[in-house]
Structure 1
Amino acid sequence: MEDVIREVMEGINAISKERGRVIDFKELLYGYYRVNPRLGVDYILDLLLVYKKYRGRKMIFPVRRHAYLQQAFGPLQLRRSPLVAHESSNRIHFVLPLSGRLAIFQRFMNNFQRVCVEPDENVRLVIVLYPTMENEDPSDEIKSIVLAFQRRIRGRKLQVELIERQEAFARAAALETGKSSCQLEDDCLLAFIDVDMVFTEKTLHHIRSHTIRGRQVYFPIVFSQFDPSFRAPLTYSVDSEIAVDVFEIDDDRGYWRFYGFGIVSVYRSDLERVGGMNTSIHGWGQEDVDLYDRTVAHADLAVFRAPDPALVHVFHPIACDGSKLTDKQKKMCIGTRAGTYASQQRLARYWIDNHSYAGE
Structure 2
Amino acid sequence: YEQFLGEVNVHVFEDWCGETVDQLRKDQLFPLFPHSRTTINRLAVYPKWENYGLRIFGYLHPGENGEYIFAISSDGNSEFWLSENESPEGLKLLAFIGKTGTEWTAPGEYEKFASQTTQPVHLERREQYYFEIIYKQSKGMDHMEVAWRLNSEDSSFEVITAAYLSLYIDDSSSMEMDTDTISQTLATQFLSPDPFLKPEVDMVNEDPRDVIYKIPLLNDSELQDVVPSCAYRPIYIFDNATIVRYEGINHVRYSTIYPNDHTRLSDEDMQGQLCFYKNDERGGFDSYLKIEGEPEGKTKVIEGEEPKKNPKWNQVFNVNPVDFNSKQNDFCVNTCKKAGNIIMQKKDAMIIVDAFMRHLQSKPNNDLVLKRVLNVEKKYNDTEGTRYLIELEMENREGKSVLMSKYLYSGAMKNGDPLVLCNAKGFAWNPEVTVHVILAVKNQGRWVKYFIKELENVYKVTGDKNFNIIIVDFNSHDINIEKELKIAKLPSYQFKKLDGRFAKAQGIQVGVDLVRDDNSILFMVDLHIHFPPVLIQNVRKHCVQGKMVFAPVVMRLDCGATLEAPKGFWETDGYGLVGIYKSDMDRIGGMNTAEFTDKWGGEDWELLDRIILNKLEVERLNIRNFAHFYHSKRGMWNKT
Q: TM over 0.5: same fold?
A: yes
Match of 1:246 among 563, 570, 574: 563
Give the superposition deviation at 1:166. Answer: 1.1
- Indicate yes or no: 2:593 matched with 1:279: yes
Match of 2:500 among 136, 158, 167: 167
Q: Return the alpha-carbon distance in structure 1 between the equivalents of residues 468 and 573 of structure 2.
A: 28
Match of 1:205 in 2: 537
Equivalent residue pairs, number:
228
Deviations 1:258-300 (A, max 9, x none): 10110000001111222211012032311111111221233x2
Match of 1:148 in 2: 487
- Indicate yes or no: 2:561 matched with 1:218: no
The AA in structure 2 aligned to 1:311 is F
Match of 1:268 in 2: 582
The AA in structure 1 aligned to 2:484 is I
- Indicate yes or no: 2:457 matched with 1:114: yes
Deviations 1:82-116 (A, max 9, x none): 26422223211111111111111111111111112
Q: Return the alpha-carbon distance in structure 2 between the equivalents of residues 40 and 248 of structure 1.
A: 25
Output the aligned Cα RMSD: 3.0
Q: Structure 1 residues 37 and 187, CA, compared in 2 at 3 Å: closer, same or farther? A: same
The AA in structure 1 aligned to 2:483 is S
Match of 1:307 in 2: 622
Q: Structure 1 residues 40 and 303, CA, compared in 2 at 3 Å: closer, same or farther? A: closer
The AA in structure 2 aligned to 1:169 is F
Give the superposition deviation at 1:76. Answer: 4.1
Match of 2:472 in 1: 128
Q: Return the alpha-carbon distance in structure 2 between the equivalents of residues 200 and 177 of structure 1.
A: 26
Q: Return the alpha-carbon distance in structure 2 between the equivalents of residues 258 and 291 of structure 1.
A: 16
Which structure has the highest helix share of the two?
A: 1
- Indicate yes or no: 2:521 matched with 1:189: yes
Q: Structure 1 residues 179 and 259, CA, compared in 2 at 3 Å: closer, same or farther? A: same
Task: Assess if the C-alpha contact under 8 Å between 1:203 and 1:310 holds in 2.
Answer: no
Match of 2:429 in 1: 86
- Decide which structure has the larger Cα Rg and report it: 2
Give the superposition deviation at 1:128. Answer: 0.5
Structure 1, gaps ≥5 residues long: 1-32, 42-74, 232-244, 325-360
- Indicate yes or no: 2:512 matched with 1:179: yes
Q: Return the alpha-carbon distance in structure 2 between the equivalents of residues 274 and 292 of structure 1.
A: 10
Identity level (%): 22
Q: Return the alpha-carbon distance in structure 2 between the equivalents of residues 320 and 100 of structure 1.
A: 8
Q: Return the alpha-carbon distance in structure 2 between the equivalents of residues 116 and 285 of structure 1.
A: 31
Give the superposition deviation at 1:175. Answer: 1.1
Task: Assess if the C-alpha contact under 8 Å between 1:202 and 1:310 holds in 2.
Answer: no
Q: Structure 1 residues 247 and 85, CA, compared in 2 at 3 Å: closer, same or farther? A: farther
- Aligned to 2:599, the other structure's residue is in SS state coil
Q: Return the alpha-carbon distance in structure 2 between the equivalents of residues 40 and 103 of structure 1.
A: 40
Structure 2, gaps ≥5 residues long: 1-279, 283-323, 330-346, 357-387, 389-407, 409-422
Q: Structure 1 residues 227 and 39, CA, compared in 2 at 3 Å: closer, same or farther? A: closer
- Aligned to 1:111, the other structure's residue is in SS state helix
Q: Return the alpha-carbon distance in structure 1 between the equivalents of residues 613 and 586 of structure 2.
A: 14
Deviations 1:2-46 (A, max 9, x none): xxxxxxxxxxxxxxxxxxxxxxxxxxxxxxx969994699xxxxx
- Aligned to 1:201, the other structure's residue is in SS state coil
Match of 2:268 in 1: none
Give the superposition deviation at 1:205. Answer: 1.9
TM-score, normalization by structure 1: 0.57
TM-score, normalization by structure 2: 0.33
Task: Assess if the C-alpha contact under 8 Å between 2:430 and 2:540 holds in 1.
Answer: yes
Q: Return the alpha-carbon distance in structure 1 between the equivalents of residues 472 and 534 of structure 2.
A: 25
Q: Return the alpha-carbon distance in structure 2 between the equivalents of residues 111 and 118 of structure 1.
A: 11
Q: Return the alpha-carbon distance in structure 1 between the equivalents of residues 504 and 591 of structure 2.
A: 9
Match of 2:448 in 1: 105
Match of 2:439 among 96, 103, 127: 96
Task: Assess if the C-alpha contact under 8 Å between 1:96 and 1:193 holds in 2.
Answer: yes
Deviations 1:300-354 (A, max 9, x none): 2111111112321111123699xx8xxxxxxxxxxxxxxxxxxxxxxxxxxxxxx
Q: Structure 1 residues 85 and 109, CA, compared in 2 at 3 Å: closer, same or farther? A: same
Q: Return the alpha-carbon distance in structure 1 between the equivalents of residues 326 and 484 of structure 2.
A: 50
